[in-house]
Amino acid sequence: MVALTLPIALAAPLGASPRAAGPARSATTAPPARPRLAYVPHEVLVRFRGSEPAVSRPAAVARAVPFARIRPVRGTGLSAVALPYGTSVPDAVTALARMPGVRAVQPDYRYSFTLEPTDPDFVQQWGLQNTGQPHMRTNGGGTTSGLAGADAHLTTAWNTTEGSPSTVIAVLDTGVELDHPDLAGNIWTNAGETANGTDDDHDGYIDDLHGWDFVDHDDDPSPMFDGFDWDIHGTHVAGIIAAARDGSGTVGVCPTCTIMPLRVGTDAGGVDDEAVIAAIHFAVRHHAGVMNMSFGGPGWSGMLRSAIAAAGRAGVLTVAAAGNAGADDDSLFVSGAGVTAKLHSPEFPAAFDLPTIISVAASDDHDRIAGFSNVGRVSVDLAAPGVDILSTIPSMSYGMLDGTSMATPFVVGVAGLVASLHPGYSPVQIKDAILHGVDRPHGVAGGRTVTNGRLDAAKALNASTANATPKSDGTIAGAVRLVHAKTGTLSYPADVNDVFRVHLLKGHRYVATLDVPKDRNFDLWVWKPGTLDVWQVEPGCTKATCHVLAAGAEPKGKDETVRFAAGKTGTYYLIVTDRGGAGRYRLTLQPR
């Protein structure tokens, strides 16, 4: 198959102005977003085998591919290999994958922050308590009134707990304004470090008193000012989580929790794997309990998935934004052709099928899924307030944003409340309590998330910790065994995918046939052994490194036939997917 190297859709950069009571700051508009590749164009990430001596690596790499330099990514066990101009990333991945001293290699994937354009004049935080009060709108001006009770019920939860300073929440974002009056008292301090130009705690970072900047590689994780405007995204996210409840400004969901600022990107430039993976390792080493990831993109990164999985095993819960494309994260398809082709795929990292990730959609003040929000009956767990959200922004001010970026820190804050009340809970138990504790208003139902629910902080505090996410036949982990033939039904959007597994022999050829119901658009995909997630699309991969093996995508009502050969003996996966409607199908697999 042709390697998918389609650009990630980048959310428009934001300008923001303060409310009337804030310090003077003029409204600004950032330059329009530039198209960006799904990965850094002149770099790949490599994990060498432990037996490969570091001193021999440059010479070994030089035999496989031209390179400018090899740089270790601190604290991760990875190396970034810089490529000279004109060297193809997919070709470099293929060549390095063949080296005996290489355990894994992939592009350095990029992601964008999941927010919406703004017009900030908003002064009321309806997501914390909604009495139906009028409030300003983020976009379009004017005012609107919400539906009483369409909120995350924080005022009730605070009667039980407002969190704890010992609950540390890592914000992987564009940086946090450390001296913002609503945040300064809740910023993490590294007890093992002093400002003396020495790495006192031997973690590889000098003077990392209040986090780290993984973009500029220094000890100041504050947002960047480019001469026109600030990167406001990370400060806004931090305020939603833990702005102080001090009688001024705004208040966060977990107002006494501690924020660990980890700068991994910019509003306009997005974020890449190298920075995020290094930040994850930092957060784990310094005992963060929850990580906020309000970014995403269609590129599946095995290294990022491994880092998040390892963090989960170390006791860290990850909460990620489902995305703002108004799409279904259970689906994948390509629209258009050639240079106009556009990839519609799940939003990663939110769509990783890991037990320690919560994926979050956005809801509005009437308890409806926001029109821009991605959904997914299998891949998106719940909704949370994400429209007309007021929070902190740089220049010691306040502004409004929309997006699943804003919904995500609502869930992170509630995770902080649950962790503070139940310090013995594991990441999975915190997740299960949040999912069992949702409200289920009509506007977020309809099979568009795992829970059909909206975040409820008060209920989550003492909700059940029984398994809230049983295996689904729409995931790789829940794949149904296929012998020769299976029949099944699909319906969009509640049941988009059926996944089947089959053991095949190296060198043998097979034909898979999907009988499609009349006037329905069902497709058939075949994936190689080692596949971990549905729609594991790896931009920049090649025939040798991509996990997708073959696909049938005939027009509506046409049966699908896929012929393929097994390149190795192992478990292969066949995915039957629904592009709309509902119907019954029959899938057969035969040797040829």
The model's confidence at residue 264, banded by pLDDT at 50, 70 and 90, is: very high
Higher-confidence residue of 112 and 273: namely 273
The model's confidence at residue 118, banded by pLDDT at 50, 70 and 90, is: very low
The CATH class that applies to domain 134-460 reads: alpha beta
Kindly state the tokens that stand for 398: 């306040």
Domain assignments of the chain as residue spans, ordered by start? 134-460, 480-591
The CATH number of domain 480-591 is 3.40.1130.10: no
CB–CB of 110/368 below 8 Å? no
In this prediction the pTM is 0.85
Q: What is the pLDDT of residues 72-82, one digit of tens each?
A: 898 898 989 98
The model's confidence at residue 138, banded by pLDDT at 50, 70 and 90, is: low
Predicted local confidence at residue 55, as pLDDT: 58
Q: Give Cα separations from 522 to 259, 330, 549, 552, 586 (angstroms).
A: 46, 14, 18, 9, 11
Q: What is the pLDDT of residues 553-577, one digit of tens each?
A: 777 778 999 999 999 999 999 999 9
**What average pLDDT score do residues 117-126 get?**
41
> For residue 492, is pLDDT > 70?
yes
Give helix 427-436 / helix 404-421 axis angle, nearest 10°: 110
Distance between CA atoms of residues 93 and 105, nearest Å: 6
Q: DSSP for 166-179, please give it.
A: T-EEEEEES---TT
Contacts of 500 (CB under 8 A, 6+ apart): 479, 480, 481, 482, 486, 573, 574, 575, 576, 587
> Of 461, 510, 457, 501, which is closest to residue 483 (Cα–Cα)?
501
Predicted local confidence at residue 25, as pLDDT: 26
> For residue 450, is pLDDT > 70?
yes
Q: What is the pLDDT of residues 360-378, one digit of tens each?
A: 999 999 999 999 999 999 9
The model's confidence at residue 18, banded by pLDDT at 50, 70 and 90, is: very low
CB–CB of 385/363 below 8 Å? yes
Q: Hey, which residues are catalytic here? A: 173, 233, 405
